[in-house]
Amino acid sequence: MEPKSNPRSHPSQFAAVIAGNIDGRTDNVRYRQRQFHRLQSSILRHLTELKEAISQDSGHSVEEVQTEVCLALKETRSHYSSLSLEKSVKVEYRVARGQDNLDRKKGAGIVYIIPTTHTIFYSVIAAVSAALAAGNCTIVELPKTTSRVTALLRTMLTEALDSDTFAISDSRPDEDFLQTTLVLDQQLPERLVASTTLKSPSALRTVAVVDRTANLQEAAVDLLRARFAFDGGSPYAPDVVLVNQFCMQPFVELVMKHVAKHLASDNSGAHPFPKRPRQSSVLDQIHSVEGAKVIVSGTGWGVALLQNR
């Protein structure tokens, strides 16, 4: 994506990234591969400190912290594996051989990332890895806060990635600059004025469906795990489960059975960090809804049955 306005009007801290985008620095596959090597090395070098920071900031269990870190590393590996030096060389010399290059791919230019606060380490690494693999320069919005993970990300990313193609923004730049970028908005708190915006509306309700062909045992276990993992704060945790009426009763019985097991195991290995207060949920209003029945509930959670909705 080519700049649409005078680069001199853009924030001075982004001057190097703008120049790197104009030069096409990230078009070279070998360059991107080296950036991935440096990124992974930086993560592994700060691994212990990183896990402690995630645990302290979020209050997640040891297993949940390990899951977030492993998935982030898996993202870097997956995107790195998509790069092929041999293929890129063949594509580069197509014109010299008199061949058409009809499937040529080029990055958007500069990707401006606004990460979500939930599992922020994974959210940032996944987005940066995807942008880097596609041949883009990247700017990540990471305001200076008391978060240890944010501080570590600022350190790790700046020491690992080339300052000519990567930068960190302390605050939201003006609309003129955003118009020259591809904005990846994982928060969606407000409408952004940008030429192109990829949105991930994490505030929307997540719905799961259990039909009559489902394996009810696996469905109950997986849905409970998804709902209670990460202290129930995941934006992708199911808020509502739609169940086929022919399998409603056995499904509810399985949920009752496994929710007790899950909470018992969770309490036995509880971590010392306090849980963050939840926002208003469907369960808070369920008692006043006609045709609703709370089957079982506890502090901050519950299983309710709604009919004729």
Please give the structure tokens belonging to residue 73: 């590393």
Contact 42, 128 (CB under 8 A): no
pLDDT average per 10 residues of sequence, the chain (309 residues):
50 87 91 96 95 92 93 96 82 74 79 91 96 95 93 95 94 88 80 66 82 93 88 82 90 87 57 44 67 72 72
Q: What is the largest CA-CA distance in the chain?
A: 73
Look at residue 231 in the predicted model and tell me its pLDDT.
77
Kindly list the structural domains of the chain, giving each domain's residue range(s) and its CATH number in brackets, ordered by start. Answer: 12-199 (3.40.605.10), 207-306 (3.40.309.10)
The whole-model pTM stands at 0.79
- Cα distances from 220 to residues 34, 48, 149, 226, in angstroms, run 44, 34, 33, 10
Look at residue 299 in the predicted model and tell me its pLDDT.
65
Contact 201, 183 (CB under 8 A): no
Look at residue 274 in the predicted model and tell me its pLDDT.
39
Look at residue 272 in the predicted model and tell me its pLDDT.
40
Look at residue 294 in the predicted model and tell me its pLDDT.
77
